């Protein structure tokens, strides 16, 4: 990632410590800053210049094939050169002042050389390719920087601090360790700390990825940026704003983006040596014969011919079209790959790691089981009807799971009288004259004298299999235990099998959820390496440990808590429908339809593209070496040299474009499936 973007991200991380804003006013600085952060891609000069260059090239192309006067297409093509070539040319000259040669300057020189011998269209195409590539990279880094800044919106800018004088509204960044704050229902927690009093359910999915809100009471830890439920909490601040989990996520994404090894395309890896060699050879081919007394014009023509036939146009087109065609093919089938570099490196994946909630699972809690308790005269259908009727007025995810199950079963719900939601405990309502209570077994049964052993057994059985257990009481008597669980994606198990075959190693699970839920899900998906209870920094450490052992890790995730690991992994892949904005923008690729079967398929497609790239490089190298040898050892006519050079460009370009065919994706998908079946 460019250093200026890293600097901006670092400034925004520092902003957590020093930003101040006047809450509740129309001219809130934070709002203005956030609006500025979300500027569109047209604010990027690379995008504007690339768009202008492409437009000019297309207009020039139309006038060229429309048999317009020669000066007209030349005018548009030369304008394309100026619009798309000035920035890489300037970058190349800057590098030249630092005594380095890069491929940008070489491409500009090759384009100018092509124009000098009448091939202005070919040079324009080269300029457009490079300008578009630079624009795409600028867009990707811009969006990532915006998403990282957007993390600042998770934690509220104001907090209510409690003191002997009463309540006072203060800036969240002004809170100190030991301060006590009040978090009202529906508010976000302003600082990491410990609950002193009160009870509530807190949605901390942004930090831990847990699918259900977690009951919080005195002594429990809460994180800045998490969303409080229906109860009020008094929280003692344990960390300053700059040390909160949210701030650490910002810092980790920044650090991972900065320290992640810069991956380059093949041509970029050899550009220095190739550029220096080609320029040196061209100068020698021009200067040495002149010093030996050769005529100026034929010597210049021979040197120009050499520069044309030796320019790496065919090598660039040997690399880019297969990768771009593969990106387009993957995009048509639900996988957005953000750059040619990512498309190339996907094929080198040796280990895949999955997040749990929203990635291997659907991310939506569902009613999985109803365990009737001994002595009840109710059926499962009746229990579901009463439970859903009591939960219907509630907005709690557990309540929505129960209500959805009843509606899916075609049940009409009864009206709930005297409904009450007890923070940290559950709900209570009168349904058809019966008092229905549903909630946490530990707190709902607290103090109840008659709690049969069967209740504890049913609760233990459900929790032991990774479910969230909720007990249901009718007129104060326990009648059933409800098991809530996040459902595994239908394609998860097959995807794990195919990935194991394609990469040669079994995937692993990295999750912030509890160990029991993680083990249950992993068993259903066929994963044996399970690491649970991980905070964002723990996921980063796990990824780095794997890569330190020589693995090239592809991480699939969806949440804010996955973003640092997505940035640190060799390749980060986000789930498009369930993914947070930060995960989508930090990731290198996005699965738009949340179809896990595409993970092994896109790895296979990348390997196919790399095979075509290798074949193209062989073709281009053989033709270039043949033409160069002819020019050095004999006399290669300039038109024939241009024809051979352009012919090689066309051959490798068409060969790469074969990867656009639908059958290529189908073979990649089938190849991953057949590989999985053979294991």
Listed in sequence order, the residues at least 6 apart from 482 whose beta carbon sits closer than 8 Å to its beta carbon are 367, 369, 370, 371, 387, 402, 438, 469, 470, 471, 472
Question: Other CB atoms closer than 10 Å to residue 59's CB: what's the count?
Answer: 17
Tell me the C-alpha to C-alpha distance, in Å, between residue 483 and each of 416, 453, 471, 486, 666. 22, 18, 9, 10, 40
Active-site residue flag, 355: yes
Q: At what angle do helices 271-291 and 103-116 cross, to 10 degrees?
A: 50
Catalytic residue of the set 171, 355, 595, 631: 355
| Sign of the four-CA dihedral 62, 68, 71, 72 | negative
What string of H, E and C letters represents the secondary structure of 147-202? HHHHHHHCCCCEEEEEECCEEEEEEHHHCCCCCEEEECCCCECCCCEEEEEECEEE
Q: At what angle do helices 120-150 and 71-97 cross, to 10 degrees?
A: 60
First to last CA, the chain: 39
Cβ-contact 385, 407 below 8 angstroms: no
Question: Other CB atoms closer than 10 Å to residue 161's CB: what's the count?
Answer: 23
Characterise 526 by phi-psi region: left (phi > 0), alpha (psi -120 to 50), beta (else): left
Listed in sequence order, the residues at least 6 apart from 420 whose beta carbon sits closer than 8 Å to its beta carbon are 427, 428, 429
Cβ-contact 530, 177 below 8 angstroms: no
* Residue 229 backbone phi and psi in degrees, to 5: -90, -125
Cα–Cα distance, 211 to 204 (Å, whole number): 9
| Strands laid side by side in the 221-222 sheet | 166-171, 158-163, 180-183, 233-237, 193-198, 221-222
Residue 497: exposure state from Cβ atoms within 10 A (0-12, 13-18, ≥19): buried
Cβ-contact 377, 629 below 8 angstroms: no
Radius of gyration of the chain (CA): 31
Burial profile 258-277: b = 16 or more Cβ within 10 angstroms, e = fewer: eeeeebebbbeeebeebbee
DSSP conformation letters of 604-615: HHHHHHHHHHHH
- 514: tokens are 């509890």
Active site residues: 355
């Amino acid at each position: 990632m460019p250093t200026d973007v890293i600097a901006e991200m670092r400034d925004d991380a520092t902003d957590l410590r020093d930003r101040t804003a006047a809450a509740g006013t129309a001219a809130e600085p934070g709002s203005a800053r956030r609006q500025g952060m979300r500027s569109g891609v047209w604010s990027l000069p690379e995008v504007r210049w690339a768009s202008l260059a492409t437009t000019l090239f297309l207009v020039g192309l139309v006038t060229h094939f429309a048999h317009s006067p020669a000066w007209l297409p030349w005018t548009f093509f030369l304008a394309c050169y100026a619009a798309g070539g000035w920035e890489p040319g300037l970058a190349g000259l800057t590098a030249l002042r630092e005594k380095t040669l890069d491929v940008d300057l070489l491409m500009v020189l090759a384009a100018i050389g092509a124009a000098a011998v009448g091939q202005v269209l070919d040079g324009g195409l080269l300029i457009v390719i490079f300008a578009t590539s630079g624009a795409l990279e600028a867009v990707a880094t811009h969006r990532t920087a915006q998403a990282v800044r957007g993390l600042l919106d998770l934690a509220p800018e104001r907090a209510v601090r409690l003191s002997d004088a009463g309540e006072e509204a203060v800036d969240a960044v002004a809170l100190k360790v030991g301060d006590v704050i009040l978090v009202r229902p529906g508010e976000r927690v302003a600082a990491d700390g410990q609950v002193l009093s009160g009870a509530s359910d807190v949605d901390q999915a942004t930090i831990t990825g847990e699918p259900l809100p977690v009951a919080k009471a005195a002594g429990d830890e809460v994180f800045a940026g998490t969303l409080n439920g229906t109860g009020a909490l008094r929280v003692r601040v344990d960390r300053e704003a700059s040390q909160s989990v949210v701030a650490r996520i910002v810092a980790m994404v920044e650090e991972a983006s900065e320290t992640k090894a810069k991956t380059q395309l093949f041509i970029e890896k050899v550009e220095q040596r190739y550029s220096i060699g080609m320029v040196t050879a061209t100068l020698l081919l021009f200067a040495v014969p002149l010093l030996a007394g050769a005529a100026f014009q034929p010597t210049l023509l021979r040197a120009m011919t050499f520069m044309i036939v030796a320019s790496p146009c065919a090598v660039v087109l040997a690399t880019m079209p297969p990768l771009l065609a593969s990106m387009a093919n993957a995009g048509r089938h639900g996988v957005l790959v953000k750059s040619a570099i990512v498309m190339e490196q996907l094929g080198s994946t040796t280990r895949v790691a999955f997040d749990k909630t929203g990635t291997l699972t659907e991310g939506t809690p569902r009613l999985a089981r109803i365990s009737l308790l001994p002595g009840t005269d109710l059926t499962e259908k009746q229990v579901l009807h009463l439970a859903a009727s009591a939960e219907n007025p509630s907005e709690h995810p557990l309540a929505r799971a129960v209500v959805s199950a009843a509606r899916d079963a075609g049940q009409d719900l009864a009206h709930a009288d005297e409904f009450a939601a007890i923070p940290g405990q559950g709900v209570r309502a009168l349904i058809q004259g019966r008092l229905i209570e549903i909630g946490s077994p530990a707190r709902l049964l607290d103090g109840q004298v008659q709690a049969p052993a069967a209740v504890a057994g049913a609760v233990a059985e459900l929790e032991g299999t990774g479910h969230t257990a909720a007990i249901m009481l009718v007129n104060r008597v326990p009648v059933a235990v409800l098991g809530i669980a996040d459902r595994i994606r239908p394609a998860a198990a097959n995807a794990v099998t195919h990935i194991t075959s394609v990469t040669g190693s079994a995937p692993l699970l990295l999750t912030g959820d509890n160990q029991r839920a993680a083990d249950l899900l992993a068993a259903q998906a066929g994963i044996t390496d399970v690491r649970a209870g991980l905070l964002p920094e723990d996921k980063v450490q796990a990824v780095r440990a794997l890569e330190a052992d020589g693995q090239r890790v592809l991480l699939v995730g969806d949440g804010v808590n996955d973003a640092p690991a997505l940035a640190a992994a060799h390749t980060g892949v986000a789930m498009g429908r369930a993914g947070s904005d930060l995960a989508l923008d930090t990731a290198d690729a996005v699965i738009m339809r949340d179809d896990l079967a595409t993970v092994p398929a896109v790895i296979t497609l990348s390997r196919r593209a790399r095979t075509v790239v290798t074949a193209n490089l062989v073709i281009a190298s053989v033709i270039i070496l043949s033409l160069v040898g002819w020019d050095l050892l004999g006399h290669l006519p300039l038109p024939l040299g241009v024809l051979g050079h352009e012919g090689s460009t066309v051959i490798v370009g068409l060969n790469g474009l074969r990867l656009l065919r639908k059958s290529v994706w189908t073979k990649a998908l089938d190849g991953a499936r057949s590989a999985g079946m053979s294991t």
